[in-house]
Amino acid sequence: MDLIEIKDVSYSYDDSKKAVDKVSFSVKQGDYVTVIGHNGSGKSTLAKMIAGLLPVKEGSITIDGLEVNEENIAKIRQRLGIVFQNPDNQFIGSTVKDDIAFGLENKRVPSKDMEGIIREYAEKVGLTPFLTYEPQNLSGGQKQRVAIAGILAMAPDIIIFDEATSMLDPKGKKEIKQLMYDLAAGDDITILSITHDIEEVLQSDRCVVLNKGKLFMYDEPEKIFAHADKLREIDLDVPFIEQVREAFGKYKIRLKSDDLKGMVEELCRSGSKS
Amino acid sequence: MPIRFKKLSYIYNKDMPYAHKALDEIDLEIKEGVITAIIGETGSGKSTLVEHLNALLLPSEGSLEVLDYNIVANQKQRFLKPLRKDVGLVFQFSEYQLFEETVIKDVAFGPLNFGFTPEEALKRAAEALKKVGIREEDFNRSPLELSGGQKRRVAIAGILSCDPKIIVLDEPTAGLDPQGAREMIDLFVELNKKEGKTVIIVSHDNEMVYNYCDETIVLSHGKIMYNGPTFDLFADKEKLKEFNMLEPQIVSFRNDLCEKGFRLSRDARTLKQIAKEVAEQVKR
């Protein structure tokens, strides 16, 4: 059995329209799965159901065999953390240290153990010099790292990133993406990342494409982007490299490389041949 | 008439131990009637710079000419209200600044304050909301019920309803999905092309800057590093490196092709046009 199993799940906020419509897929332990789709495609609704923030009224979601419902929610929350979009809306402590400690306090970790745990995870996300800083003196990327450290300190199995980099500047984006890739590189933590960043999707193991609440595709990123036309149909961006392939395809020039440098080489060769 | 900064400096917490010079003797001209991007790393002074344009911040030293207004350091300012009508500023994450009970009231707030009658203010608000693509059935909803992208449109309508000559937007596409960002940019291009508004956009999105902005200003540590055509900036690899700028993929691709001896015209900025020109040279 896979770590996360989603079966025939639907959800509607009001009766008129389904925000999530009979979605089924499963995620293996240790996988890094990205979720893409338009605003309103059901990405966040689905993530909130997995995290038990919205009730599963139709279908079922299980995490490690445990059904996500009111009865199990406390157990499930111990194993799962979410990093939200806005770095300013998820700070609880008055310093970085207090913020990381918040989850541990709720878990009733003895205070003598706390210091060590906080240091360990602050180190892991590169926040050691900032432990006594107040939130307003941190950059957006640093704030997101505090949120991630707070979650890691709870030793979760699953971390959900809900557009965690979209409000950051390019430097912050790069930092947080790198941290996500590092976490994903291990086998322990399963990552579900809702994103609009096509470059991030290319780094993930698998990608879920949602469209109008329905599962549109679920596959390895390369296979998904091989169907550029299908993604276009639902108005999603395709990676730049596929755009180049398409643009030259119109002139009957078939480029085969998987990177831009290779494509430039190909063009040079065909140029000198004729 | 262009906007002119003359030896303008701005110091936060002046005469205090924490004094910080955010803008450092800036001399700058921003062209009228075009779309200008202001880029630079976080903390380089971008927001401080644009907040001078409608005198939210007053220069600590030097002066600034905007339209017919001349703002000089340490002089009493008499014309703030008309200036703020003529220069509309949309803040970062402007969706958080909505406060009225309904969408239409929120947008009418500006014109009411600038002395229009309630009827006229509502009429202007309705026009502005249509321009940004908010449907009439949403006019009387609470702005808090709208999605993030829609809220931001309402905030922009709040500025447009005052009919400014210059529109300044601080990171208008941050946090929007790609489609939402594209629609937002299309709106600015339309305001510029159809209505001749001067549009100034603070952005971190180099790809958007390259594709849509005529002119670009690069700021670093409160100083102007570059002010000129966007195209020339991105065509100059040395400069991109010096300014620590990420090259949009389309730019890397174009530059690589040029290096390999393909001849691309200045018009070949989009992938479509690049492919066309390269294809002609390959087939010859």
> What are the residue ranges spanned by the domains of chain A?
4-218
**CB atoms A267 and B180 under 8 Å:** no
Are the C-beta atoms of A192 and A47 separated by less than 8 Å?
yes
CB < 8 Å to B270, chain A: none
CA-CA distance, A210 to A217, in Å (whole number)?
7
Per-residue pLDDT, B105: 96
Cβ within 8 Å of residue A189, ≥6 positions away = A30, A156, A157, A158, A159, A183
Which carries the bigger pLDDT value, residue A136 or residue B51?
A: B51
Same domain? B199 vs B281: no
Whole-number Cα distances in Å, A112 to A115, A152, A154: 7, 18, 16
Same domain? B131 vs B258: no
Q: Which residues of A touch B (CB under 8 A)?
A: 38-40, 85, 139, 163, 166-167, 169-172, 196, 235-237, 240, 243-244, 247-248, 250-251, 253, 260-261, 263-264, 267-268, 270-271, 274
Question: What is the pLDDT averaged over residues A33-37?
Answer: 95
Which carries the bigger pLDDT value, residue A40 or residue A242?
A: A242
Q: Cα distance from B148 to chain A (closest Cα, Å)?
A: 10
Angle between helices A140-152 and A170-185 (to 10 degrees): 20
Which ranges of chain A does DSSP label H, i.e. alpha helix?
43-50, 73-77, 96-106, 111-124, 140-152, 170-185, 198-203, 221-225, 228-233, 240-249, 260-273
| CB neighbour class for A12 (10 Å; exposed up to 12, middle 13-18, buried from 19) | middle
Same domain? B177 vs B252: no
Same domain? B81 vs B91: yes
Same domain? B138 vs B102: yes
Could you list the residue range(s) of the whole structural domain that residue B272 is in?
248-284
How many domains, in total, are found in chain B? 2
Query: Which residue, chain included where needed, has tokens 């703030």?
Result: B80
Per-residue pLDDT, B93: 84
Of A169, A196, A260, the CB nearest to B177: A196
Question: What is the pLDDT averaged over residues A187-193?
Answer: 92
pTM score, whole prediction: 0.84
pLDDT tens for B220-245 read 999 999 999 999 999 998 999 999 88
CB < 8 Å to A260, chain B: 249, 252-253, 256
Q: Check whether B251 has a pLDDT greater than 90.
A: yes
Per-residue pLDDT, A272: 60
Domain range A4-218, CATH class: alpha beta
How many Cα atoms sit within 13 Å of B279 on the Cβ side?
19
Q: How many CB atoms lie within 10 A of CB B153?
A: 26
**If you measure CA to CA, which chain A residue comes closest to B180?**
A39
Q: Could you say which DSSP state residue A129 is in?
A: G
CB < 8 Å to B276, chain A: 251
Same domain? B265 vs B168: no
Provide the CATH number for the domain around residue B206.
3.40.50.300
pLDDT tens for B16-72 read 888 889 999 999 999 999 999 999 988 899 999 999 999 999 999 999 999 999 999
- Containing A208, the helix (H) or strand (E) segment is strand A206-211
Q: Which residues of B touch A (CB under 8 A)?
A: 41-42, 93, 147-149, 174-175, 177-180, 204, 246, 249-250, 252-253, 256-257, 260-262, 271-272, 274-276, 278-279, 281-284
Q: Cα distance from A166 to chain B (closest Cα, Å)?
A: 5
B110 is written with which tokens? 């500006």
- Containing A10, the helix (H) or strand (E) segment is strand A4-11
User: Is ipTM over 0.85?
Assistant: no
CA-CA distance, A16 to A261, in Å (whole number)?
50
pLDDT tens for B75-125 read 887 888 899 999 999 998 888 889 999 999 999 999 999 999 999 999 999
Per-residue pLDDT, A14: 79
Of A167, A237, A250, the CB nearest to B174: A167
